[in-house]
Homo-oligomer: A and B are copies of this chain.
Amino acid sequence: MNTDYFDRFLPLIDAEMRKVLGNDFPFYAGHYGMLRYHMGWVDEAFRPAVVNSGKRIRPVLCLLACEAAGAPAERALPAAAALELLHNFSLIHDDIEDDSPTRRHRPTVWALWGRPQAINAGDAMFTLARRALYALAEHHASAVQMLNVFRNFDEACVRLTEGQYLDMSFEGRMDVTVDEYLSMIDGKTATLIGASLYIGALIGGAALETRSALAEFGRQLGLAFQIQDDILGIWGDEAVTGKSAASDILARKKSLPVVYALADTKVGDALRTLYARPIEDADVPAVLDLLADAGAQPYAASAAQSAHQHALEALDASGVLADDNPAGQALFALSESLLNRSS
């Protein structure tokens, strides 16, 4: 896509988020310091730092949806900031739940300040994300519009916790169904991306049909992206993804290809036997053979393709793809760049 939008939006999103996490009352320096560290703005001694801080996909989609609906993107900035902070809340807690000591090549919050403070830091990020939304009142939003934004935001939060529950519950299970898997990624990833578009379009003044079509575009985009991620986690090119090949196999992740193969009558039992104990490098070829026998890669590729197709249909139905709507065109270009990747 045209990177002008990123160049224009990212500093605005950053500034809006810094306002929300800007409390500098001395008693709470350590508290807000942890949050700013997680965002990549300071180092672990709370000195200013510049580090890679994530792709900011959700807020950019939100701003594009607002602009595609016909209003200045700036009007949706408080919501864009809220969505990115919410995503970062989930990362802080995910890192504790997954016992991950590093994120983006730096120690995670819990690794530096311990789990108790990190749990509370995540709670703070969660509630500050919500607080970011009140600045919509300074951008011409009515009370009814704001309540509608809150409602969508809060429903996405509920789905986020449901998806996270499912994801963690899969670890100890060999009977995960494809439906459960799809509900998991819908809650954990797709709903929030859908909400980002819905909320942006709502603030931009779009009619209900346009908002709903854009939400569906975002949801399907999220599903397609996540399923692609599952494919790359098993068959991705190590040199391109930066993760070790078959990393999801070694982690025994219940990703879509695995869930599909576990339900296969031919290979299911053999795969369950392998997945019942830790998987070593030497086991990987056997797992790959079983996945191949089940046709797990073409199945997953077709599921990703189908979600991709549904995303484009919904985007088209939203009516923002007109030639005179550059933000709508940018939504199309961004979704294509997200889905045509090899890493």
Residues of chain A at the chain B interface (Cβ within 8 Å)? 27-28, 30-31, 93, 96-98, 115-117, 119-124, 126-128, 130-131, 134, 142-144, 146-147, 150-151, 154-155, 157-158, 160-162, 164-166, 168-169, 180, 183
Ranked 3 nearest A-B pairs via Cβ: A97-B116, A124-B161, A31-B165
Q: CB < 8 Å: which of B98, B123, B150 contacts A93?
A: B123
A168 and B120 form a contact (CB under 8 A): yes
How far, in angstroms, from A134 to B160 measured CA to CA in the complex?
19
B123 and A96 form a contact (CB under 8 A): no
Residue of B nearest to A179 (CB): B27
A115 and B116 form a contact (CB under 8 A): no
B128 and A165 form a contact (CB under 8 A): no
How far, in angstroms, from A146 to B150 measured CA to CA in the complex?
11
How far, in angstroms, from A162 to B35 measured CA to CA in the complex?
12
B183 and A27 form a contact (CB under 8 A): yes
A126 and B126 form a contact (CB under 8 A): yes
A127 and B161 form a contact (CB under 8 A): yes
Q: CB < 8 Å: which of B127, B130, B147 contacts A146?
A: B147
A169 and B134 form a contact (CB under 8 A): no
Q: What B residues does A122 contact at CB under 8 A?
A: 119, 123
B134 and A151 form a contact (CB under 8 A): yes
Q: What B residues does A161 contact at CB under 8 A?
A: 31, 120, 123-124, 127
- Nearest CB on B from A63, distance (A): 23
B93 and A162 form a contact (CB under 8 A): no
How far, in angstroms, from A293 to B123 measured CA to CA in the complex?
40
Interface contacts beyond A93-B119, A121-B165: sample of 4 additional A-B pairs, CB < 8 Å, sorted by A = A117-B169, A120-B165, A126-B126, A130-B154
How far, in angstroms, from A168 to B30 measured CA to CA in the complex?
11
How far, in angstroms, from A218 to B291 measured CA to CA in the complex?
61
